[in-house]
Amino acid sequence: MKRVFDHIDFTIVGHLQSVLEAAGIRTEIRNEGGSGAAGELPFTQVYPELWVLENQDEARARALIKEFRDREHEIPVGPAWTCPACGEEIEGQFAECWNCGAENPL
């Protein structure tokens, strides 16, 4: 087994597990509940970790993770907008107002 990724956000680790599993790479997540130990242990030791079960899958898994993470930065972000319902200023990546739930009119 080889650890191929860790992150403070479990949803990112879980999503990358799905990416690898879809590519036929068997995986395991460790420290799923590790945040409960934060404070007792250094926070970097309780990050959720993504492991591949077969050592020979490590290089391919790392390449898939890098490809996915690189594509995240290529997604264009729209312009900031003002909610037509409540007047809140909303960052461009959001499709609806965080304050009242109104949809982006653009």
Domains of the chain, start order: 2-72 (3.30.70), 76-106 (no CATH)
34-51 as b/e: b if 16+ CB within 10 A: beeeeeeeeeeebbbbbb
- The mean predicted confidence, pLDDT, of the chain is 88
* pLDDT higher than 90, residue 92: no
Q: How high is the pLDDT of residue 41?
A: 59
Q: How high is the pLDDT of residue 38?
A: 52
For residue 40, the SS3 value is coil
The closest alpha carbon to 98, from 82, 77, 79, belongs to 82
CB 11 within 8 A of CB 35: no
Q: How high is the pLDDT of residue 94?
A: 86
Q: How high is the pLDDT of residue 105?
A: 85
Q: How high is the pLDDT of residue 77?
A: 78
Question: Among positive and negative, which fits the CA dihedral 11, 46, 60, 72?
Answer: positive
Q: How high is the pLDDT of residue 56?
A: 98
For residue 63, the SS3 value is helix
Tens-place pLDDT, residues 26-63: 999 998 865 555 556 566 677 899 999 999 999 999 99
Q: How high is the pLDDT of residue 43?
A: 60
Report the distance separating Cα 45 and Cα 64, nearest Å.
24
- Find the mean pLDDT for residues 7-34: 92
